[in-house]
Protein backbone atom coordinates (compact mmCIF):
# COMPACT_ATOMS: atom_id res chain seq x y z
CA UNK A 1 0.00 0.00 0.00
CA UNK A 2 2.73 2.46 1.00
CA UNK A 3 4.81 3.85 -1.86
CA UNK A 4 8.57 3.43 -1.50
CA UNK A 5 9.98 6.84 -0.53
CA UNK A 6 12.72 7.98 -2.85
CA UNK A 7 15.92 8.87 -1.03
CA UNK A 8 16.62 11.45 -3.73
CA UNK A 9 13.44 13.39 -2.96
CA UNK A 10 13.28 14.99 0.50
CA UNK A 11 10.18 14.02 2.44
CA UNK A 12 9.58 17.67 3.32
CA UNK A 13 11.17 20.74 1.81
CA UNK A 14 10.32 24.31 2.82
CA UNK A 15 11.89 27.49 1.47
CA UNK A 16 10.91 30.81 3.00
CA UNK A 17 7.46 29.49 3.88
CA UNK A 18 4.97 32.18 4.84
CA UNK A 19 1.41 32.02 6.09
CA UNK A 20 -0.77 34.86 7.38
CA UNK A 21 -4.11 35.13 9.15
CA UNK A 22 -5.41 38.42 7.82
CA UNK A 23 -2.52 40.84 8.27
CA UNK A 24 -0.93 38.87 11.11
CA UNK A 25 1.95 36.65 10.04
CA UNK A 26 1.63 33.16 11.50
CA UNK A 27 4.68 31.75 9.72
CA UNK A 28 7.52 33.63 8.06
CA UNK A 29 10.85 32.60 6.62
CA UNK A 30 10.63 28.92 7.51
CA UNK A 31 13.25 26.97 5.56
CA UNK A 32 14.16 23.34 6.22
CA UNK A 33 14.62 19.92 4.68
CA UNK A 34 13.56 16.61 6.19
CA UNK A 35 14.75 13.41 4.53
CA UNK A 36 12.61 10.27 4.27
CA UNK A 37 12.43 8.43 7.57
CA UNK A 38 13.65 11.37 9.63
CA UNK A 39 11.82 12.97 12.54
CA UNK A 40 11.38 16.72 12.70
CA UNK A 41 10.44 18.10 16.10
CA UNK A 42 8.94 21.59 16.11
CA UNK A 43 9.26 23.36 19.45
CA UNK A 44 7.86 26.67 20.53
CA UNK A 45 5.59 28.46 22.95
CA UNK A 46 1.83 28.78 22.47
CA UNK A 47 0.98 30.76 19.32
CA UNK A 48 4.41 30.19 17.79
CA UNK A 49 2.94 28.79 14.57
CA UNK A 50 3.57 25.09 15.18
CA UNK A 51 0.01 23.98 14.40
CA UNK A 52 -0.15 26.33 11.42
CA UNK A 53 2.98 24.70 10.00
CA UNK A 54 1.41 21.27 10.37
CA UNK A 55 -1.84 22.41 8.76
CA UNK A 56 0.08 23.80 5.78
CA UNK A 57 1.95 20.49 5.42
CA UNK A 58 -1.35 18.61 5.77
CA UNK A 59 -2.73 20.64 2.80
CA UNK A 60 -5.45 22.18 4.98
CA UNK A 61 -3.94 25.69 4.69
CA UNK A 62 -2.37 27.26 1.63
CA UNK A 63 1.10 28.80 1.88
CA UNK A 64 1.01 32.57 1.27
CA UNK A 65 4.67 32.81 0.34
CA UNK A 66 7.74 30.70 -0.26
CA UNK A 67 7.50 27.08 -1.34
CA UNK A 68 6.50 23.87 0.39
CA UNK A 69 6.66 20.31 -0.90
CA UNK A 70 5.79 16.98 0.69
CA UNK A 71 7.32 13.85 -0.85
CA UNK A 72 8.11 15.90 -3.93
CA UNK A 73 4.54 17.17 -4.33
CA UNK A 74 4.45 20.96 -4.47
CA UNK A 75 1.78 22.53 -2.26
CA UNK A 76 -0.91 23.54 -2.90
CA UNK A 77 -0.76 22.58 -6.60
CA UNK A 78 -0.23 18.87 -6.02
CA UNK A 79 -2.08 18.67 -2.71
CA UNK A 80 -4.34 15.92 -3.99
CA UNK A 81 -1.40 13.59 -4.63
CA UNK A 82 0.21 14.48 -1.29
CA UNK A 83 -2.98 13.69 0.66
CA UNK A 84 -2.73 10.01 -0.21
CA UNK A 85 0.64 9.86 1.51
CA UNK A 86 0.05 12.03 4.60
CA UNK A 87 -1.45 11.15 7.97
CA UNK A 88 -2.38 13.95 10.34
CA UNK A 89 -3.24 14.00 14.03
CA UNK A 90 -4.36 17.49 14.97
CA UNK A 91 -5.65 19.17 18.11
CA UNK A 92 -9.17 18.10 17.12
CA UNK A 93 -9.95 14.41 16.81
CA UNK A 94 -11.53 14.81 13.33
CA UNK A 95 -13.99 12.11 14.37
CA UNK A 96 -17.78 12.29 14.26
CA UNK A 97 -18.86 12.12 17.87
CA UNK A 98 -22.20 10.44 17.02
CA UNK A 99 -20.56 7.65 15.04
CA UNK A 100 -18.72 4.78 16.68
CA UNK A 101 -14.96 4.51 16.48
CA UNK A 102 -15.33 1.68 13.96
CA UNK A 103 -17.80 3.65 11.80
CA UNK A 104 -15.49 6.66 11.79
CA UNK A 105 -12.52 4.59 10.74
CA UNK A 106 -14.47 2.69 8.09
CA UNK A 107 -15.56 6.02 6.58
CA UNK A 108 -11.95 7.21 6.34
CA UNK A 109 -10.71 3.84 5.10
CA UNK A 110 -13.22 3.98 2.25
CA UNK A 111 -12.37 7.61 1.42
CA UNK A 112 -8.67 6.63 1.27
CA UNK A 113 -9.55 3.54 -0.79
CA UNK A 114 -7.87 1.22 1.69
CA UNK A 115 -7.86 -2.43 0.56
CA UNK A 116 -10.12 -4.65 2.69
CA UNK A 117 -11.25 -1.73 4.89
CA UNK A 118 -12.99 -3.85 7.56
CA UNK A 119 -9.86 -5.93 8.19
CA UNK A 120 -7.56 -2.89 8.25
CA UNK A 121 -9.87 -1.01 10.64
CA UNK A 122 -9.97 -4.02 12.97
CA UNK A 123 -6.17 -4.21 12.81
CA UNK A 124 -5.52 -0.57 13.77
CA UNK A 125 -8.23 -0.59 16.45
CA UNK A 126 -6.53 -3.62 17.98
CA UNK A 127 -3.17 -1.87 17.76
CA UNK A 128 -4.42 1.15 19.75
CA UNK A 129 -6.31 -1.02 22.23
CA UNK A 130 -9.76 0.17 21.18
CA UNK A 131 -11.28 -3.07 19.88
CA UNK A 132 -13.61 -3.53 22.84
CA UNK A 133 -15.05 -0.01 22.61
CA UNK A 134 -15.02 0.20 18.80
CA UNK A 135 -18.79 -0.15 18.56
CA UNK A 136 -19.53 2.67 21.02
CA UNK A 137 -20.15 6.21 19.84
CA UNK A 138 -17.15 8.51 20.13
CA UNK A 139 -18.92 10.92 22.52
CA UNK A 140 -18.84 8.18 25.16
CA UNK A 141 -15.02 7.89 24.96
CA UNK A 142 -12.54 9.41 27.39
CA UNK A 143 -10.13 11.98 25.94
CA UNK A 144 -7.41 9.36 25.85
CA UNK A 145 -9.63 6.95 23.93
CA UNK A 146 -10.52 9.69 21.45
CA UNK A 147 -6.82 10.43 20.94
CA UNK A 148 -6.02 6.75 20.40
CA UNK A 149 -8.82 6.48 17.83
CA UNK A 150 -7.54 9.67 16.15
CA UNK A 151 -4.09 8.10 15.84
CA UNK A 152 -5.69 4.96 14.38
CA UNK A 153 -7.49 7.16 11.82
CA UNK A 154 -4.26 8.88 10.84
CA UNK A 155 -2.37 5.64 10.13
CA UNK A 156 -5.23 3.73 8.46
CA UNK A 157 -3.89 4.26 4.94
CA UNK A 158 -0.29 3.57 6.00
CA UNK A 159 1.02 7.07 5.19
CA UNK A 160 4.69 7.74 4.59
CA UNK A 161 4.58 11.10 6.37
CA UNK A 162 2.90 11.57 9.73
CA UNK A 163 2.10 15.04 11.01
CA UNK A 164 1.52 14.88 14.75
CA UNK A 165 0.33 17.90 16.71
CA UNK A 166 1.25 17.11 20.30
CA UNK A 167 0.36 13.43 19.82
CA UNK A 168 0.87 12.48 23.46
CA UNK A 169 -1.70 15.00 24.67
CA UNK A 170 -4.38 13.16 26.68
CA UNK A 171 -2.45 9.88 26.55
CA UNK A 172 -1.21 8.20 29.71
CA UNK A 173 2.24 6.56 29.57
CA UNK A 174 0.73 3.14 28.82
CA UNK A 175 -1.31 4.47 25.92
CA UNK A 176 1.68 6.41 24.57
CA UNK A 177 3.66 3.17 24.55
CA UNK A 178 0.75 1.41 22.83
CA UNK A 179 0.52 3.82 19.90
CA UNK A 180 4.31 4.31 19.51
CA UNK A 181 4.83 1.34 17.12
CA UNK A 182 2.12 2.71 14.81
CA UNK A 183 3.93 6.03 14.56
CA UNK A 184 7.40 4.56 14.02
CA UNK A 185 9.10 3.83 10.70
CA UNK A 186 7.76 6.89 8.91
CA UNK A 187 8.84 10.44 8.30
CA UNK A 188 7.39 12.34 11.24
CA UNK A 189 6.78 15.96 12.05
CA UNK A 190 5.96 16.34 15.73
CA UNK A 191 5.04 19.54 17.52
CA UNK A 192 5.77 19.75 21.20
CA UNK A 193 6.14 22.09 24.14
CA UNK A 194 8.62 19.74 25.75
CA UNK A 195 12.27 20.65 24.93
CA UNK A 196 13.36 17.11 25.85
CA UNK A 197 11.56 15.86 22.71
CA UNK A 198 14.41 17.41 20.72
CA UNK A 199 16.59 14.51 21.90
CA UNK A 200 14.63 12.09 19.69
CA UNK A 201 14.72 14.31 16.59
CA UNK A 202 16.85 14.23 13.46
CA UNK A 203 15.90 17.83 12.72
CA UNK A 204 14.73 20.40 15.27
CA UNK A 205 12.93 23.62 14.45
CA UNK A 206 12.36 26.27 17.09
CA UNK A 207 9.54 28.66 16.31
CA UNK A 208 8.68 31.91 18.03
CA UNK A 209 6.03 34.31 16.70
CA UNK A 210 6.03 32.35 13.44
CA UNK A 211 9.76 32.73 12.79
CA UNK A 212 12.61 30.25 13.21
CA UNK A 213 14.32 30.85 16.55
CA UNK A 214 17.29 29.24 18.33
CA UNK A 215 16.29 26.80 21.05
CA UNK A 216 18.04 28.95 23.63
CA UNK A 217 15.60 31.54 24.87
CA UNK A 218 12.71 29.95 22.95
CA UNK A 219 10.40 30.05 25.95
CA UNK A 220 11.77 33.24 27.48
CA UNK B 1 -18.71 7.18 -6.72
CA UNK B 2 -17.52 5.06 -3.82
CA UNK B 3 -16.65 8.26 -1.92
CA UNK B 4 -20.21 9.59 -2.46
CA UNK B 5 -21.60 6.28 -1.22
CA UNK B 6 -19.42 6.30 1.91
CA UNK B 7 -20.24 9.94 2.66
CA UNK B 8 -23.97 9.47 2.04
CA UNK B 9 -24.00 6.46 4.36
CA UNK B 10 -22.34 8.65 7.00
CA UNK B 11 -24.93 11.45 6.53
CA UNK B 12 -27.92 9.13 6.83
CA UNK B 13 -26.42 7.24 9.77
CA UNK B 14 -25.79 10.50 11.64
CA UNK B 15 -29.37 11.68 11.06
CA UNK B 16 -30.84 8.33 12.08
CA UNK B 17 -28.74 8.41 15.23
CA UNK B 18 -29.26 12.04 16.25
CA UNK B 19 -32.68 12.85 14.69
CA UNK B 20 -31.75 16.52 14.50
CA UNK B 21 -32.88 17.68 11.07
CA UNK B 22 -36.00 15.74 10.04
CA UNK B 23 -37.97 16.03 13.32
CA UNK B 24 -37.18 19.76 13.57
CA UNK B 25 -38.35 20.42 10.01
CA UNK B 26 -41.44 18.25 10.39
CA UNK B 27 -42.57 19.69 13.72
CA UNK B 28 -42.01 23.22 12.43
CA UNK B 29 -44.22 22.51 9.41
CA UNK B 30 -47.05 20.97 11.42
CA UNK B 31 -47.02 23.79 13.97
CA UNK B 32 -47.05 26.35 11.17
CA UNK B 33 -50.04 24.66 9.52
CA UNK B 34 -51.85 24.70 12.88
CA UNK B 35 -51.06 28.42 13.26
CA UNK B 36 -52.37 29.12 9.73
CA UNK B 37 -55.46 27.02 10.46
CA UNK B 38 -56.40 29.30 13.35
CA UNK B 39 -54.97 32.57 12.00
CA UNK B 40 -56.85 32.39 8.69
CA UNK B 41 -60.05 31.45 10.53
CA UNK B 42 -61.07 29.15 7.72
CA UNK B 43 -61.63 25.40 7.81
CA UNK B 44 -60.20 25.05 4.32
CA UNK B 45 -58.17 27.17 1.93
CA UNK B 46 -57.87 26.88 -1.83
CA UNK B 47 -56.10 28.14 -4.94
CA UNK B 48 -53.12 30.46 -4.63
CA UNK B 49 -53.66 30.98 -0.88
CA UNK B 50 -53.38 27.24 -0.21
CA UNK B 51 -50.41 26.96 -2.52
CA UNK B 52 -48.66 29.90 -0.86
CA UNK B 53 -49.23 28.54 2.65
CA UNK B 54 -47.81 25.15 1.66
CA UNK B 55 -44.70 26.44 -0.10
CA UNK B 56 -43.80 29.19 2.36
CA UNK B 57 -44.02 26.64 5.18
CA UNK B 58 -41.90 24.09 3.31
CA UNK B 59 -39.37 26.79 2.42
CA UNK B 60 -38.89 27.90 6.03
CA UNK B 61 -38.77 24.28 7.19
CA UNK B 62 -36.07 23.58 4.61
CA UNK B 63 -34.04 26.48 6.03
CA UNK B 64 -33.94 24.61 9.36
CA UNK B 65 -32.54 21.59 7.57
CA UNK B 66 -30.07 23.72 5.60
CA UNK B 67 -28.75 25.17 8.85
CA UNK B 68 -28.16 21.70 10.28
CA UNK B 69 -26.47 20.23 7.18
CA UNK B 70 -22.85 20.83 8.20
CA UNK B 71 -23.21 20.99 12.00
CA UNK B 72 -21.72 17.54 12.65
CA UNK B 73 -18.84 18.33 10.30
CA UNK B 74 -17.88 21.47 12.20
CA UNK B 75 -17.61 19.62 15.52
CA UNK B 76 -14.20 18.24 16.53
CA UNK B 77 -12.68 19.15 13.17
CA UNK B 78 -14.53 16.35 11.38
CA UNK B 79 -14.59 18.38 8.15
CA UNK B 80 -10.78 18.60 8.22
CA UNK B 81 -10.71 14.81 8.30
CA UNK B 82 -12.78 14.75 5.10
CA UNK B 83 -10.64 17.43 3.45
CA UNK B 84 -7.53 15.34 4.13
CA UNK B 85 -8.92 12.49 2.06
CA UNK B 86 -7.73 12.17 -1.55
CA UNK B 87 -11.21 12.56 -3.01
CA UNK B 88 -12.87 14.98 -5.40
CA UNK B 89 -14.51 17.46 -3.07
CA UNK B 90 -17.63 17.59 -5.21
CA UNK B 91 -18.29 14.15 -3.69
CA UNK B 92 -18.93 15.97 -0.40
CA UNK B 93 -21.49 18.19 -2.15
CA UNK B 94 -23.23 15.35 -3.95
CA UNK B 95 -23.52 13.26 -0.77
CA UNK B 96 -24.85 16.23 1.23
CA UNK B 97 -27.34 17.17 -1.49
CA UNK B 98 -28.67 13.61 -1.77
CA UNK B 99 -28.96 13.41 2.02
CA UNK B 100 -30.81 16.75 2.09
CA UNK B 101 -33.12 15.53 -0.68
CA UNK B 102 -33.88 12.50 1.49
CA UNK B 103 -34.60 14.74 4.51
CA UNK B 104 -36.96 16.92 2.42
CA UNK B 105 -38.80 13.86 1.15
CA UNK B 106 -39.16 12.54 4.71
CA UNK B 107 -40.44 15.95 5.81
CA UNK B 108 -43.07 16.04 3.07
CA UNK B 109 -44.27 12.49 3.76
CA UNK B 110 -45.55 13.86 7.09
CA UNK B 111 -46.09 17.56 6.33
CA UNK B 112 -48.21 17.26 3.17
CA UNK B 113 -50.81 14.93 4.75
CA UNK B 114 -50.88 17.29 7.74
CA UNK B 115 -51.50 20.19 5.35
CA UNK B 116 -54.36 18.28 3.74
CA UNK B 117 -55.80 17.48 7.13
CA UNK B 118 -55.54 20.96 8.62
CA UNK B 119 -56.06 23.28 5.66
CA UNK B 120 -57.34 21.41 2.59
CA UNK B 121 -60.63 19.65 2.17
CA UNK B 122 -60.82 15.97 1.21
CA UNK B 123 -61.89 17.10 -2.28
CA UNK B 124 -58.31 18.11 -2.99
CA UNK B 125 -57.25 14.45 -3.19
CA UNK B 126 -57.18 14.51 -7.01
CA UNK B 127 -54.33 17.07 -6.82
CA UNK B 128 -51.92 14.52 -5.38
CA UNK B 129 -50.27 13.16 -8.60
CA UNK B 130 -49.53 16.66 -9.88
CA UNK B 131 -48.37 17.82 -6.45
CA UNK B 132 -45.93 14.91 -6.24
CA UNK B 133 -44.31 15.99 -9.51
CA UNK B 134 -43.97 19.59 -8.29
CA UNK B 135 -42.59 18.47 -4.92
CA UNK B 136 -39.97 16.31 -6.65
CA UNK B 137 -38.77 19.14 -8.90
CA UNK B 138 -38.82 21.73 -6.10
CA UNK B 139 -36.96 19.40 -3.73
CA UNK B 140 -34.17 19.04 -6.28
CA UNK B 141 -33.78 22.81 -6.46
CA UNK B 142 -33.96 23.31 -2.69
CA UNK B 143 -31.38 20.56 -2.13
CA UNK B 144 -29.05 21.88 -4.86
CA UNK B 145 -29.12 25.52 -3.74
CA UNK B 146 -29.53 24.79 -0.02
CA UNK B 147 -26.46 22.54 0.13
CA UNK B 148 -24.42 25.16 -1.71
CA UNK B 149 -25.50 27.89 0.72
CA UNK B 150 -24.86 25.64 3.72
CA UNK B 151 -21.38 24.84 2.40
CA UNK B 152 -20.64 28.54 2.01
CA UNK B 153 -22.06 29.45 5.41
CA UNK B 154 -20.17 26.73 7.24
CA UNK B 155 -16.92 28.55 6.47
CA UNK B 156 -18.17 31.58 8.41
CA UNK B 157 -18.95 32.31 12.05
CA UNK B 158 -22.41 33.72 11.28
CA UNK B 159 -23.80 30.52 9.78
CA UNK B 160 -27.23 30.82 11.42
CA UNK B 161 -27.69 34.29 9.94
CA UNK B 162 -26.11 33.66 6.57
CA UNK B 163 -28.17 30.61 5.64
CA UNK B 164 -31.56 32.41 5.58
CA UNK B 165 -30.04 35.65 4.25
CA UNK B 166 -28.55 33.87 1.26
CA UNK B 167 -30.87 30.90 1.02
CA UNK B 168 -34.25 32.66 0.97
CA UNK B 169 -33.46 35.01 -1.96
CA UNK B 170 -31.76 32.20 -3.88
CA UNK B 171 -34.77 29.94 -3.41
CA UNK B 172 -37.30 32.60 -4.35
CA UNK B 173 -37.55 31.37 -7.98
CA UNK B 174 -38.30 27.84 -6.70
CA UNK B 175 -41.05 29.11 -4.43
CA UNK B 176 -42.59 31.33 -7.12
CA UNK B 177 -42.55 28.52 -9.69
CA UNK B 178 -43.75 25.87 -7.24
CA UNK B 179 -46.57 28.11 -5.94
CA UNK B 180 -47.70 29.04 -9.45
CA UNK B 181 -47.60 25.40 -10.50
CA UNK B 182 -49.49 24.22 -7.41
CA UNK B 183 -52.24 26.86 -7.31
CA UNK B 184 -54.35 25.32 -10.14
CA UNK B 185 -54.19 21.95 -8.39
CA UNK B 186 -55.93 23.45 -5.35
CA UNK B 187 -58.57 25.33 -7.38
CA UNK B 188 -62.03 25.58 -5.82
CA UNK B 189 -63.68 23.51 -8.53
CA UNK B 190 -61.16 20.66 -8.36
CA UNK B 191 -57.64 20.18 -9.68
CA UNK B 192 -56.90 21.83 -13.01
CA UNK B 193 -54.16 20.84 -15.44
CA UNK B 194 -50.54 21.22 -14.38
CA UNK B 195 -49.02 24.39 -15.87
CA UNK B 196 -46.07 23.05 -17.87
CA UNK B 197 -44.37 26.46 -18.04
CA UNK B 198 -43.76 26.54 -14.27
CA UNK B 199 -42.61 22.94 -14.21
CA UNK B 200 -40.07 23.87 -16.89
CA UNK B 201 -38.89 26.81 -14.74
CA UNK B 202 -38.37 24.41 -11.83
CA UNK B 203 -36.47 21.96 -14.03
CA UNK B 204 -34.26 24.74 -15.41
CA UNK B 205 -33.52 26.01 -11.90
CA UNK B 206 -32.52 22.49 -10.80
CA UNK B 207 -30.20 22.14 -13.77
CA UNK B 208 -28.56 25.55 -13.39
CA UNK B 209 -28.01 25.30 -9.63
CA UNK B 210 -26.91 21.70 -9.82
CA UNK B 211 -24.23 22.54 -12.39
CA UNK B 212 -23.25 25.78 -10.63
CA UNK B 213 -22.81 23.99 -7.31
CA UNK B 214 -20.70 21.22 -8.87
CA UNK B 215 -18.50 23.88 -10.44
CA UNK B 216 -17.90 26.03 -7.36
CA UNK B 217 -18.23 23.76 -4.31
CA UNK B 218 -14.58 22.66 -4.41
CA UNK B 219 -13.58 26.33 -4.40
CA UNK B 220 -15.85 27.08 -1.41
CA UNK B 221 -14.03 24.52 0.72
CA UNK B 222 -10.58 25.84 -0.14
CA UNK B 223 -8.70 27.73 2.55
Which run of H or E residues covers position A214?
Answer: none
Count A/B contacts: CB-CB distance under 8 Å.
Answer: 79
Contact present, B3 and A110 (Cβ < 8 Å): yes
Domains and CATH numbers, chain A: 9-85+161-166+186-220 (3.40.50.300), 92-158 (no CATH)
Taking contacts as CB-CB distances below 8 angstroms, the residues of chain B near A92 are: 76-78, 80
- Ramachandran quadrant class, A12 (left: phi over 0; alpha: psi -120 to 50; beta: rest): beta
Residue of B nearest to A82 (CA): B86
The Cα–Cα gap between B52 and A10 comes to: 64
The whole-angstrom distance between B47's CA and the closest CA on chain A is 44
- Given an 8 Å threshold on Cβ–Cβ distance, is A83 in contact with B18? no
Q: Which tens digit of pLDDT belongs to each residue from B97-129?
A: 999 999 999 999 999 999 999 998 766 778 889
Contact present, A94 and A154 (Cβ < 8 Å): no
Q: What is the mean pLDDT of residues A148-171?
A: 92
- Residue B46, classed as helix, strand or coil, is coil
Number of structural domains (chain B) is 1
Share the mean pLDDT of chain B: 92
The whole-angstrom distance between A12's CA and the closest CA on chain B is 17
- ipTM (interface pTM): 0.91
Q: What is the mean pLDDT of residues A94-101?
A: 96
- Given an 8 Å threshold on Cβ–Cβ distance, is B10 in contact with A103? yes
Q: What is the residue range of B216's domain?
A: 2-221
Q: Which tens digit of pLDDT belongs to each residue from A173-196?
A: 888 888 888 888 899 999 988 888
- Given an 8 Å threshold on Cβ–Cβ distance, is B13 in contact with A81? no
Contacts 24+ apart (CB under 8 A), B167-172: B167/B63, B167/B66, B168/B59, B168/B63, B170/B145, B170/B209, B171/B59, B171/B62, B171/B141, B171/B142, B171/B145, B171/B146
Tell if the pTM clears 0.90, that is, is over it: yes
- Read off the pLDDT band of A34 (50, 70, 90): very high
Cα separations (Å) of A21 from A182, B4, B10, B136, B153? 33, 32, 32, 43, 19
- Given an 8 Å threshold on Cβ–Cβ distance, is A95 in contact with B81? yes
- Given an 8 Å threshold on Cβ–Cβ distance, is A107 in contact with B10? yes
Residue of B nearest to A111 (CA): B3
The whole-angstrom distance between B171's CA and the closest CA on chain A is 30
Q: What is the pLDDT of residue A16?
A: 95
The minimal CB distance from A112 to the residues B17, B77, B86 is found for B86
- Ramachandran quadrant class, B100 (left: phi over 0; alpha: psi -120 to 50; beta: rest): alpha
- Residue A207, classed as helix, strand or coil, is strand
- Given an 8 Å threshold on Cβ–Cβ distance, is B80 in contact with A94? yes
Q: What is the pLDDT of residue A198?
A: 86
Amino acid sequence: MRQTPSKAVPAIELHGLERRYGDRPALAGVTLTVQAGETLVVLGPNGAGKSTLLRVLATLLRPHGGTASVLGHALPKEAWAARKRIGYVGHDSMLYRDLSGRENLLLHARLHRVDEPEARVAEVLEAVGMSKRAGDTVHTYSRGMVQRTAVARAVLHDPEVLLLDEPRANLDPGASELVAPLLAGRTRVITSHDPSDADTADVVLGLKAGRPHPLEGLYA
Amino acid sequence: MSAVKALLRKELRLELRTFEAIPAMTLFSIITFVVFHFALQQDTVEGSLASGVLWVTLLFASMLGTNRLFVADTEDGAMDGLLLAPIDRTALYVAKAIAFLTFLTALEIVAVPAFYLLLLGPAAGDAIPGLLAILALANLGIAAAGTLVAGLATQTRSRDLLVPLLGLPLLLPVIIAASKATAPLFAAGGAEALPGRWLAVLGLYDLVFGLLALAVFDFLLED
